[in-house]
Amino acid sequence: MSATPAVNDPELERTGRRSFLGALLAISGAAVSLLLAIPLVRFSTYPLRRVAADADWSDVGPVNEFDSLTAPVAKTISIERRDAWQTTSAQTSVYVLPAKDGQFRILSPVCPHLGCSVRWVNDQNKFVCPCHSGSFTADGERLAGPPPRSMDTLDAKVVDGVLKVRYRYFRQLVATKEEMA
């Protein structure tokens, strides 16, 4: 004769409570782990989710100031960088070129060879790098010297009559324009 447990068997009741408490503990642990993993996932995927904010754009000046340009002009801009809770501000220069087809063009003053500051020489109608005699046309195209590519262009836009630029740093000593993170 087989022994079947009675309906009110205390051993069966104890086993049922244990498995219920074990399942409850497992579900609670999974829920807590999921809640703790959310910030980690957000932190590790931040560079993929980040889009250029308006804070990335710096004011160059009023558009009407650049309407009558005949040669490149250097303008000083302020760059603000935010890293977690810390905000730093720096100043740098950019070159605003005469507009073609109504589009403003802005060049980075950093030589793509070794990162020296390129300057505009009005007498020669070209940009010259003082470090290794690299030279560029008035449009920033490479003429001569060791630089591996032309001067780097920067993104520009006009908002409410103000010319804005998104300043970026680019890798030196490479033939293609590669933005540095």
Q: What is the reported pLDDT for 181?
A: 64
Q: What is the reported pLDDT for 6?
A: 55
Model confidence pLDDT, tens digit, residues 115-170:
999 999 999 999 999 998 899 999 999 999 899 999 999 999 999 999 999 999 99
* Model confidence at 70: pLDDT above 80: yes
What topology is assigned to 54-166 in CATH?
A: Rieske Iron-sulfur Protein (2.102.10)
Phi, psi of 172 (to 5 degrees): -90, 165
Model confidence pLDDT, tens digit, residues 27-67:
999 999 999 999 988 888 876 766 545 558 999 999 989 88
Per DSSP bridges, beta strands 73-83 and 103-107 are unpaired
* Model confidence at 13: pLDDT above 90: no
Per DSSP bridges, beta strands 142-144 and 135-136 are antiparallel
Model confidence pLDDT, tens digit, residues 104-130:
899 999 999 999 999 999 999 999 999
| 9 vs 33: which has the higher pLDDT | 33
* Cα 97 from Cα 108, distance rounded (Å): 11
Cβ-Cβ contacts under 8 Å for 111 (sequence gap 6 or more): 117, 118, 129, 131, 134, 147, 151, 172
Phi, psi of 102 (to 5 degrees): 80, 0
Evaluate whether 97 touches 105 at the Cβ level (below 8 Å): yes
Evaluate whether 149 touches 164 at the Cβ level (below 8 Å): no
Cβ-Cβ contacts under 8 Å for 154 (sequence gap 6 or more): 94, 106, 107, 108, 165, 166, 167, 168
Q: Which two tokens stand for residue 178?
A: 């590669």
